[in-house]
Structure 1
Amino acid sequence: MGKNGHKRITLLGVEIDSYPFDVFMHKLEEQMRRGKGTYVVTPNVDHIVRLKTDGEFREVYRRASFVVPDGVPLLWASRWLGKSLPERITGADLFPRLSARAAETGRSIFLLGATPSVCERVIARLRGEHPKIKVAGHYSPPFGFEKCQDELKKIVQTLKQAKPDVVFAALGTPKQEKLIFHLRTQVPVKLFLGVGAAFDFYSGEKKRAPAWLQKAGLEWAFRLAHEPGRLWKRYLVNDPRFFWWVVSEKFLGKVHD
């Protein structure tokens, strides 16, 4: 068991919650009912690699309410190391599920990130699928927002005025996680979740990998083929270290902290 009684495993020095999707949704609902400031992180290979060198990112993870596995390679590694994570739980899959749940419970949502046009298309689709959904607003921070104190203050004020129950942040890693960590004590929100490219997928701005590629652990290859200029270094230079670390832990018992 991990903190707060969570069922957790430790993979390459990172504690990860070990729940099937539906069980996690139930646990998250229970946590949200207890109060505000709940936030979820969804580690993939890129996150694990970043955590080795980014102290601020490690603190975000250490304080997270839930840590659920986004990447299929994490499932493979956990099973190979005899720890077995049961299921992939991605931000892109959580976004529509939690939005539907918000519509059922009367909770309001806020979209933070992507472009204004993408957010508007997301909202239009949500309202078409869930007529009762309450959208408190949306905001698209400019490039470099994380380095500008005035912009960070603007985000806080925007959320305070909107008063959402749930904030979905689609700003990319590690920006969205670090911003959520900052916001959680500044704004009285029940749940913060970083969802990566979920708005782009949901709006149709970008095509998500077919389900069979996702299941095969090849969503990264699909994304690399569609965005080589942005993603080549992540997938071809940085992330391969993860696989060496897994082999090292398996055969040498060495955990790369």
Structure 2
Amino acid sequence: MQPDFNREVYCLLGLPFDAIGLDAAVQRVQQAARERKPCFLSTPNLNFVVAAQTDAAFRNSVLHSDLSIVDGMPLVWVARLLGLPLRERVAGASVFERLRRDAGTPIKLFFFGGADGVARAACESLNAEPGALSCVGFDAPGFESVQAMSGEERIARVNAAGADFVVVALGARKGQAWIEHNRSRLRAPVISHLGAVMNFVAGNVKRAPPWLQRGGLEWVWRIKEEPALWRRYGSDGLAFAALLMRRVLPLALQSFLRRPSRQQLGAAKVSLEEGPQAAVLRLEGAWTAANLAPLRKAFTDAAGSREPLHLDLWGVSHLDSAAIALMSLLWASRTGNPGDALLFGVQPRVRRQIELSCSTYLLAE
């Protein structure tokens, strides 16, 4: 599926994030459900970012998403440090609760996953209270593999329920993998892995008070509710501290010291050259969120072509987070296309920007 290159999206620690608030995210989901327009919603938090550094398939699932929201205050703080307009935490649980309270847009849900009995309890609890969300089915496949829980009969049962939104709870990596594996087979327009939501709705786990959420301390409450989480949070915290020191702080310093000049911004242009073995998009000048319109059009045209594609960055003097994010969406849309070698001819300074952005997967070997 071709990505939308008109999204206002920024690269943060190797993943794309939409600059969107809670209200707009809710409206986007409601519109997708109403118009039956596919929307794969990803909710990257600190755990997502850390796991994506070493798990390419997990990272690619976020790159393939139609909407990627900042579900973690530490990521909002990093965005502020880097000057990115990701100013608001948009938690998946908050999107769900807002959808539930908005009586103007009824949405039918299917719960997939969860521990034994949780999906049933969540379904019954949701239907017992008035609200815009209703549950039309559930399935708890247990601890099977992604392939085992993707059989024809199981997918047919999900589709037969007529849901608008499939809420998945299988653990982040397996949940994202299941969505990637079955997205083209599911009829529900909206799909998202919202693991904690099912427990919240079922009443097995209480969500943290709003003041803890705003202060970035929801993880403390989650450990109180689910003590086994402390190992994951501790491991993620250490990995995140390393990313701060090795990637975030150097990138913040470089961004402050090396701003593109007006001349470099004015020199930005993109041209397409048809070569004997591949099409080449040749970029020049400095690319930032302020001048990406030509790049958006060029990438939209390129994403639809099955011919091998190369991006020549020899003439590029600067890339900001928005430009790198667009390149990641293009890269994801071309994954597996024979002959592609997206970024080559990258100047050392620009290569350093890409490396500090945790986006070295974009670079040709």
TM over 0.5: yes
Q: Is the 1:116–1:139 Cα contact (8 Å) retained in structure 2? A: no
Q: How does 1:214-253 map to 2 (within 5 A)?
A: 214-228=213-227, 230-253=228-251
| Cα shift at 1:93 | 1.7
Query: What is the one-letter code of the residue matched to 1:122?
Result: A
1:163 and 1:202 mapped to 2: Cα distance?
21
Answer whether contact 2:114 2:170 (CA < 8 A) is retained: yes
Q: Identify which of structures 1 and 2 has the higher relative contact order when contacts are C-alpha pairs closer than 8 Å and 6+ apart.
A: 1
**Shift, 1:246, TM fit:** 2.8
Greater fraction strand: 2
Superimposed CA distance per residue, residues 201-235 of structure 1 (whole angstroms, 9 cap, x where no aligned partner): 1222112222222211111122234433x323321
Give, in whole Å, the separation in 1 of the partners of 2:57 and 2:113: 21
Give the partner amino acid of 1:185: S
Contact 1:95 1:168 (C-alpha < 8 Å) held by counterparts:
no
Structure 2 counterpart of 1:54, one-letter code: D
Structure 1 residues 132, 98: CA separation in 2 closer, same or farther (over 3 Å shift)? closer
Task: Please give the secondary structure, in 2, of the residue aligned with 1:197.
Answer: helix
How many percent identity over aligned positions?
29
For 1:252 and 1:119, locate their aligned partners in 2 and report how far apart those are by CA, in whole Å: 44
Code of the residue aligned with 1:244 in structure 2: it is: A
Using the alignment, how far apart are the partners of 2:237 and 2:193 within structure 1?
20
TM-score (norm 1): 0.87
**Alignment pair present for 1:256 and 2:255:** no
What is the letter of the counterpart of residue 204 of structure 1? G
C-alpha change, 1:132 and 1:247, in structure 2 (3 Å) is closer
- 1:120, distance to aligned residue in structure 2 (A): 3.3
In the superposition, relative to structure 1, how do residues 190 and 142 fare at CA in structure 2: closer, same or farther (>3 Å)? Answer: same
Alignment match, 1:118: 118
Local SS of the residue matching 1:252? helix
SS of the residue corresponding to residue 191 of structure 2 reads: strand
After TM superposition, list the pairs within 5 Å mapping 1:181-196 onto structure 2. 181-196=180-195
Mapping for residues 1-257 of structure 1, pairs under 5 Å: 3-101=4-102, 104-115=104-115, 117-130=117-130, 134-146=134-146, 148-149=147-148, 151-153=149-151, 154-228=153-227, 230-253=228-251, 254-257=356-359
Q: Note closer, same or farther for the CA distance 1:132–1:26 as it changes in structure 2 (3 Å cut).
A: closer
SS of residue paired to 2:185 = coil
Q: Which string of whole-angstrom CA distances, capped at 9 and with x for unpartnered residues, describes residues 151-198 of structure 1?
A: 321431221222212111122211111111222101211100111111
Q: Distance in 2 between matches of 1:125 and 1:226?
A: 19
Give a deviation string over 1:27-85, Cα, whole Å, max 9, x none. 33344455443110001011001111111112211110000011111111100111131
Q: Amino acid of the residue matched to residue 197 of structure 2?
A: A
Structure with more helix by fraction: 1
Aligned equivalents of 1:106, 1:24: Cα separation in 2:
16
Which whole-Å CA distance do the structure 1 matches of 2:127 and 2:36 have between them?
27
**How much is the aligned-residue C-alpha RMSD, in angstroms?**
2.4
- Structure showing greater radius of gyration is 2
Deviations 1:81-118 (A, max 9, x none): 111312111222222333455x6444421111224633
* Partner Cα distance (2:233, 2:30) in 1: 34
Partners of 1:248 and 1:255 within 8 A in 2? no
Gap runs ≥5 in structure 1: none
Question: Partners in 2 of 1:95 and 1:126 — Cα distance?
Answer: 12
Contact kept in structure 2, 1:75 and 1:84, CA below 8 Å: no
Q: Is the 8 A contact 1:75 1:87 kept in 2?
A: yes
**What letter matches 1:93 in structure 2?**
S
Q: Distance in 2 between matches of 1:75 and 1:27?
A: 21
User: Residue type of the partner of 1:137?
Assistant: G
Query: Which is worse superposed, 237-246 or 86-95?
Result: 237-246
Secondary structure at the aligned position of 1:144 is classed as coil
Q: How does the TM-score come out when normalised to structure 2?
A: 0.63
Instruction: Name the CA distance, whole Å, in 2 between partners of 1:211 and 1:134.
Output: 25
SS at match of 1:185: helix
Q: Deviations over 1:94-153 (max 9, x none)?
A: 22333455x64444211112246333332333223326754321111111342x53x321
Give the match's secondary structure for 2:172. Answer: coil
* Structure 2 portions without partners, runs of 5+: 252-355, 360-365
